[in-house]
Chain A
Amino acid sequence: LSRIGDELYLEPTESGLSLRAVNSSRSAFASFLFAPLFFQLYEPGGAGPDAELFRCKVHMKSLLGIFRSLPSLEKSVGKCLILLKPRASRLVLQLHCKYGVTKTHNLTFQECERLQAVFDTQRCASRLCAPARVLAEAVVHFPPMLAEVTLGTGPGGKISLRNYVEDEAEPSKTMVTELWLAEDEFQSVAVAPGSHITFCLKEFRGLLSFAEASNLPLTIHFDEPGRPMIFTLDDTVLEVHLVLATLSDLESNSQSPSTNGVSHLPAPSDNFADDLESYMAAMETSEGPSEGPPSPTFPLRTPRPAESEPEEEREEEEEEEEGAVPGTPPHKKFRSLFFGSVMTPGRPSPATTQEVLAEDSDGES
């Protein structure tokens, strides 16, 4: 949760204790619901059956400080008591440790509105379920600092993961990494063919480490680009949801890889289009802008040989992007999740009660 936001929202409910966080740009939301059975003792409190249960938020840093070192917690702590004292304005965390030592932490909190992202996994057209290990092994190939990744589908039921390169960044300067996973690496695959979705890897990695540590399979629900993507983990006493906003793109095929399968690397073939040779020829013959600095930089793309021989490019044996990407870069929009001011507890409700924060200005739906 600390990978997502700076504040932890605590909401005791009849069905368990819910811990939630949201990031500052409202594009990522996570909730962990611990069922009453998870605890040795669970009293959500409340003055009466109709009284609303108290909720609050605390600084993530305060909690992180208390739970910092897992190994030492496991060794020395026997019990942990969490007590919410609204009248004293304190959230008490008491660790009962070995040798009769009790550590009591009194944290301040702030009262807050209910934090609830509006989402519905039922409305997602595509669903994947995989052991956390497979996804962790997939994600490891991407650099730790990488922001966004695109999940896509390919022929033969393969699922791809590819780093997303913003169009503003020069495509000729960024390394592109793509990974293909076979359908049978997943526990279940129910995806719309040709679908793809781009999301932020950073928040996902947090959930992924949790899933790996708890050895739970991860289910990914997604729909069209722009609609939230939902990751869930389920176990008998814990329900986890991570909701991420996704990139909506005007051009539906701007980033998706083309359709040749790569289940095996193609054998070396003479069809290797020597577009490099013509590229070189173009560079040799053109007077070339005297690339000012004496050390050669990446060649300018002005000769644009790629565009002049589209036919030869297509003959190349393996996957390649669709032809020339048109000039107007897609308007990047991470849609905010819709946060309704939902006062009534219960299942997240679909469209009807949501407050639209960002109007859908492109006709993608």
Chain B
Amino acid sequence: MRFRAKIVDLACLNHFSRIINTIAKLAKTCILRLTVSKLYFILSDKVANGGASMWCELSQGNFFDEFQMEGVAAEHNEIYLELKPENLSRALKTAQNAKAVKMKLTNKHCPCLRVAVELPSLSSSSRIVTHDIPVGVIPRRMWNDFREPSVPDFDVSIYLPALKTMKSVVERMKNLSNFIVIEANLSGEMNLKIETDLVSVTTHFKDLGNPPWASEDGCQSSAQDRDLESMAEACIDIKKLQLLLAGQQVNPTKALCNIVRKRIVHFILLHEEVSLQYFIPAIA
């Protein structure tokens, strides 16, 4: 099992760092899955994570100049690693003007992802900073725990309002309540509500648009019969929503959420080279 990769282009490095920063906000520990063509950051919905789960997928070709990977075995050409994205974020943080960043999987005292940053310096040789990030290697028998979650059978799917606006609304609401209700309907309307003993606040968004989902087993056709005005709502932990929004440093190409009333909210944020799905379960 081996892994080596290199980024030379500063724009790619920046973009990659931003993605890692977003992931670091959402998960203290997560799984990095490496395949020949993609990288995945996965957080599974264990109780320890508060039930939230995440699936982030990027094509390595969009970021790395060199990428070599050999998985556990020929027919299972993948590597699953457990790590703290915060470590990776810190390692890349001071690499913003690097000449090159190399990553490699090593095992000296324990498995590590070694990030080596080559920095320009006034002297004849470059400055090298290495960060050894401890990782846990996930054995093949556990890989099933980390499969891509399927899109839930949602009641409403709606495009999100401008994330910047949504973020500032949610941040202020966070000061008043621990829970927030997201509700939306198939007429492009969404409300964010909080309610406490002292105060209730609702922010209304309209004309958001509802994404068209290809109907699979006719379940969507029944949606057309459904009342377009009827709201599907779910009450979720406001902190999780705030972290998701705070982590977005660049506006996604597409941002939408799927609501299964009273069960779960599924956020999908799509950028050109990376897709992020985040599931927040509803509070009973």
Residues of chain A touching chain B, judged by Cβ–Cβ distance below 8 Å, are 137-138, 140-141, 143, 171-185, 262-265, 268, 272, 274-277, 279-280, 283-284, 288, 293-299, 301, 306, 313, 316, 320-321, 325
Contact = CB atoms under 8 A, between A and B. Distances in A.
Given A172-B109, A306-B108, 6 more contacts: A265-B100, A268-B68, A272-B2, A276-B2, A279-B107, A299-B139
> Most chain-B CB neighbours within 10 Å: which of A137, A182, A296, A299?
A296
Contacts of B90: 143, 175
B24 to A, nearest CB: 13
A301 B124 contact: no
B232 interface: no
B123 A182 contact: yes
Contacts of B48: 293, 295
B122 A178 contact: no
19 contacts: A138-B127, A141-B94, A143-B90, A172-B109, A175-B132, A179-B128, A179-B129, A181-B121, A182-B124, A185-B123, A262-B130, A265-B128, A275-B107, A276-B105, A276-B111, A295-B46, A296-B136, A306-B110, A313-B108
B114 to A, nearest CB: 9
A176 B132 CA distance: 5
Contact of A296 (B82, B116, B125): B82
Contact of B1 (A140, A182, A274, A294): A274
Contacts of A141: 94, 129, 131
Given A179-B128, A262-B128, A174 B91 contact: no
A265 B123 contact: no
B133 A184 contact: no
B138 A296 contact: yes
A180 to B, nearest CB: 5
B140 A284 contact: yes
Given A180-B128, A272-B2, A283-B139, A298 B134 contact: yes
Contacts of A138: 127
A208 to B, nearest CB: 16
Given A262-B128, A294-B145, A276 B123 contact: no
B136 A297 contact: yes
B131 A140 contact: no
A185 B120 CA distance: 12
A138 B123 CA distance: 14
Contact of B2 (A175, A274, A295): A274
Interface in B69-128: 72, 82, 84, 87, 90-91, 94, 100, 102, 105-111, 116, 118, 121-128
Given A265-B128, A295-B48, A296-B142, A283 B137 contact: yes
